[in-house]
A and B are shown apart, each in its own frame.
Chain A
Amino acid sequence: MRTRPSARAGQYAALLAYLIFLAFPFLWLLSTAFKPPRELGSLHPTWIPRHPTLANFRQAFDEQPLLHAALNSLLAALGAAVIAVLIATPMAYVMARHRTRLARAASGWVVVSQAFPFVLIIIPLFLVLKRLRLIDSLAGLTVVYVVWSLPFALWMLVGYVRAVPVELEEAAAVDGAGRLRTLISVTAPLLAPGIAATALFAFITAWNEFFFALVLLKSPGNQTLPVVLTHFIGAEGVADLGPLAAAAFLATLPSLVVFALLQRRITGGLIAGAVKS
């Protein structure tokens, strides 16, 4: 079915408007990061800074250990993403392929566990991690992020596993492949987009997380980027807006890079055409 040119133009216009809407916060952040203080207090703010400056970036780097904090965030977020995927993938496979009562109960628990607020679990969690000597360590924080993202990761992956036709596994079995061989050579590649999406979710969740990092890390050398960003904010919400915007702009970049790297995997549609009906 062919779309009329006018309808297509309308679709593109709507898409463009939506993209601009989505990009607005990021573009405004970018603009603010390059504005000198006097332009930040203007009653008539402009999109393009009249006197663009790098001073906000200089000040941000001078005042706070941004690179070190970014490295800490990266280690915790990558660790959380990798471990969450390693744990969630086989679990999701079992839950998707073996629909027992236990699997259904586990699915229900996964949904319920998402309802617990941070403040309810933070003190018990703090005490448990203290007993394990994992307070003030990125390893401890990574464990927390894994536990925190695991239920949702599992939920996501169960859906992806169910989308992989079981006939493919049966065909592999007919061809003589063992269970493990089938999982590694047949199922896992087809799950790649799902695994990439799940890893991205776990990475971004951990990268942006603030409260656990604030409470569990004490040494300045261990602090993550979201915690360091708050150091530009004072009492009663007063903020050093220029350096804060500069640092926040830099903080968004790794998420964008990881997304760009995984994006093809997510949208690649590796399953397309795998089964002819």
Chain B
Amino acid sequence: MRTRITMAVAALLLLLAGCSSGGRQHGGPVTLRFQSLAWQQESVAANKELVREWNAAHPDVQVEYVQGDWDSVHDQLLTSFEGGEAPDVIHDASDDLADFAYGGDLADLSGLLPARLKSYIPARSWRATTFGKGVYGVPFLQEPRVLIANSAWLRTAKVRIPTPRHPWSWAEFREITARLSGDGKYGVAWPLKEPVSVTLNLGLSAGGTLFQRGSDGKVSVRFGAGDAVVPRTVRDQIARDRSAPASTLGSGGSDTLPGFFGGRYAMVPLGFSYRQQIEQQAPKGFKWEVLPAPAGADGLTQGVSPQTLSVSQDCPHKKEAAQFIDFLLRPKNMVRLALGDWMLPTGTDALADPALHTADHGWATGTALAAHLRPAPAQSVRGYPEWKDKIATPAFQEYYSGAIGLAALRERLEQDGNLVLARYQR
């Protein structure tokens, strides 16, 4: 018996010894850990291929590809920063950067990036990653919200097909979705599981200016006439016109696709990258197309949170990390990343690439929208996550479901919301 116990303990110790990692090697080439959030097959392949190319050309600066995931990246980075073990090069979205930037976790890249890269990405995109006086990420991919439409249905109904030059107004959109509806079918299905970002980002087209920054730099919420256009249109489509089903209010974008393919909805407002799923899953013979989102007083303007590449403040090789970012975002490489993710590049040279101007899969419509994309309204507002989760999400959900009216929505967003934001700006 004693022998058996000794053997079991020995086996256990061996098991644990085998589990231990070797740790970081000292000396030799610099090793950078690049945490990517790419997840689609082509996108992961493009990222890995670019890392391989970099490693082949830079024996002294080797990059290790680490796969992260969108769902938990914030918590994971938060813990890694606290523990001083963050990846060197970090892929994230610009609306996740504010707290890390203000918290001193990310390196200010303004002095590290080459002039070519700075000039090649438009100033409006840089605004999404500029916090205070520093630049804490390089915005490189973005996606507008578009209308994915059932082509046959729209043509049979003989509605005017909108283009980026002649988009639908919000009023026209409402009128058309009402015309397309009836007999258990709907002109549009709004997947509003995350109602705040959709409403705010599309609201910019109607001149929405929900977050007002005062002369003292403090931000407050003021729900003006422009901010009401999008929520009122959606609410009217659901409650009055019956041109949008209430059942999709709690759904994510993917959840609406079976109904879209099954001919239940004529259109679904989705992020531009959803085209990949639609291309994969649409039944044979199903014809779909990409239409611009409706335009308001400010045209096709809408808010986006670009994907970004940042460098950890603790990274001992910031210069090399910035060089790697510069390599990843060279125009041709940015196009490869954009095609892999079915998204739009931010770089002007990359946007001009012919591969992104084909009519196939609505690429041309998307690229035509690129000039109208602005940083999402909440981009640099400290306390936005709490405002969104505790105040805005339930308020919009109640408004869209018909539980409260516009006056109550305004009151909740402004009064309750400003109390939350004030705590972050003392």
Contacts from A to B (Cβ < 8 Å) = 37-38, 40-45, 59, 63-64, 75-76, 78-79, 82-83, 86, 119, 122-123, 126-127, 130, 133, 135-139, 142, 184, 210-211, 214-215, 218-220, 222-223, 227-228, 230-241
Contacts from B to A (Cβ < 8 Å) = 1, 8, 12, 15-21, 23, 33, 37, 39-41, 44, 64-67, 69-72, 75-76, 79-80, 82-85, 87, 93, 193-194, 252-254, 257-259, 261-262, 264, 271, 273-274, 277, 280-284
A38: chain B residues within 8 A (beta carbon) = 280-284
State how many angstroms separate the Cβ of B2 from the closest Cβ of chain A: 10
Given known pairs A123-B82, A220-B65, the reply for A76 and B19 (CB within 8 Å) is yes
Among the listed B40, B80, B257, which residue makes an inter-chain contact with A41, where contact means beta carbons less than 8 Å apart? Answer: B257
Q: How far is the CA of A42 from the CA of B261 in the complex (A)?
A: 7
Among the listed B15, B19, B87, B271, which residue makes an inter-chain contact with A218, where contact means beta carbons less than 8 Å apart? Answer: B87
Among the listed B37, B79, B193, B271, which residue makes an inter-chain contact with A123, where contact means beta carbons less than 8 Å apart? Answer: B79
Smallest Cβ-Cβ distance to A229: which chain B residue: B69
State how many angstroms separate the Cβ of A123 from the closest Cβ of chain B: 5
A215: chain B residues within 8 A (beta carbon) = 75-76, 79-80
B15: chain A residues within 8 A (beta carbon) = 75, 78-79
Are B258 and A41 interface neighbours, CB within 8 A? yes
Smallest Cβ-Cβ distance to A228: which chain B residue: B67
Smallest Cβ-Cβ distance to A72: which chain B residue: B19
Smallest Cβ-Cβ distance to A83: which chain B residue: B12
Are A40 and B69 interface neighbours, CB within 8 A? no
Q: How far is the CA of A235 from the CA of B343 in the complex (A)?
A: 12
Are B16 and A130 interface neighbours, CB within 8 A? no
Smallest Cβ-Cβ distance to B258: which chain A residue: A43
Q: How far is the CA of A139 from the CA of B273 in the complex (A)?
A: 39
Smallest Cβ-Cβ distance to B2: which chain A residue: A184
Q: How far is the CA of A42 from the CA of B64 in the complex (A)?
A: 39
Are A119 and B21 interface neighbours, CB within 8 A? no
A136: chain B residues within 8 A (beta carbon) = 21, 23, 85
B258: chain A residues within 8 A (beta carbon) = 41-43, 45
Given known pairs A78-B15, A220-B67, A235-B70, the reply for A133 and B23 (CB within 8 Å) is yes
Q: How far is the CA of A45 from the CA of B281 in the complex (A)?
A: 13
State how many angstroms separate the Cβ of A22 from the closest Cβ of chain B: 25
Additional A-B contact list (20), CB under 8 Å, known A41-B261, A119-B75, A238-B277: A42-B283, A43-B261, A43-B262, A63-B41, A79-B19, A83-B12, A86-B12, A135-B85, A138-B21, A139-B20, A210-B72, A215-B75, A215-B76, A218-B33, A233-B39, A234-B39, A234-B70, A237-B254, A238-B273, A240-B39
Q: How far is the CA of A75 from the CA of B280 in the complex (A)?
A: 37
Are A230 and B72 interface neighbours, CB within 8 A? yes
Are B16 and A63 interface neighbours, CB within 8 A? no
B259: chain A residues within 8 A (beta carbon) = 43
Q: How far is the CA of A42 from the CA of B284 in the complex (A)?
A: 12
Given known pairs A42-B261, A139-B20, A240-B39, the reply for A130 and B70 (CB within 8 Å) is no
Are A59 and B41 interface neighbours, CB within 8 A? yes
B87: chain A residues within 8 A (beta carbon) = 218
B76: chain A residues within 8 A (beta carbon) = 214-215
Among the listed A59, A75, A126, A211, which residue makes an inter-chain contact with B18, where contact means beta carbons less than 8 Å apart? Answer: A75
Are A137 and B33 interface neighbours, CB within 8 A? no
Are B82 and A137 interface neighbours, CB within 8 A? no
B69: chain A residues within 8 A (beta carbon) = 227, 230-231, 233
Q: How far is the CA of A82 from the CA of B282 in the complex (A)?
A: 48
| 20 residue pairs A–B, Cβ–Cβ below 8 Å | A38-B282, A40-B281, A41-B258, A41-B261, A42-B283, A43-B262, A64-B67, A86-B12, A123-B79, A139-B17, A139-B19, A218-B66, A218-B80, A218-B87, A223-B67, A230-B69, A233-B69, A238-B253, A238-B273, A238-B274
A76: chain B residues within 8 A (beta carbon) = 19
Q: How far is the CA of A75 from the CA of B12 in the complex (A)?
A: 10
State how many angstroms separate the Cβ of B309 from the closest Cβ of chain A: 15
State how many angstroms separate the Cβ of A266 from the closest Cβ of chain B: 21
State how many angstroms separate the Cβ of A222 from the closest Cβ of chain B: 6
B274: chain A residues within 8 A (beta carbon) = 238
A240: chain B residues within 8 A (beta carbon) = 39-41
State how many angstroms separate the Cβ of B386 from the closest Cβ of chain A: 15
Among the listed B66, B67, B254, B283, which residue makes an inter-chain contact with A238, where contact means beta carbons less than 8 Å apart? Answer: B254
Are A139 and B16 interface neighbours, CB within 8 A? yes
Q: How far is the CA of A234 from the CA of B193 in the complex (A)?
A: 15
State how many angstroms separate the Cβ of A39 from the closest Cβ of chain B: 9
Q: How far is the CA of A135 from the CA of B76 in the complex (A)?
A: 13
Among the listed B8, B23, B252, B257, which residue makes an inter-chain contact with A237, where contact means beta carbons less than 8 Å apart? Answer: B252
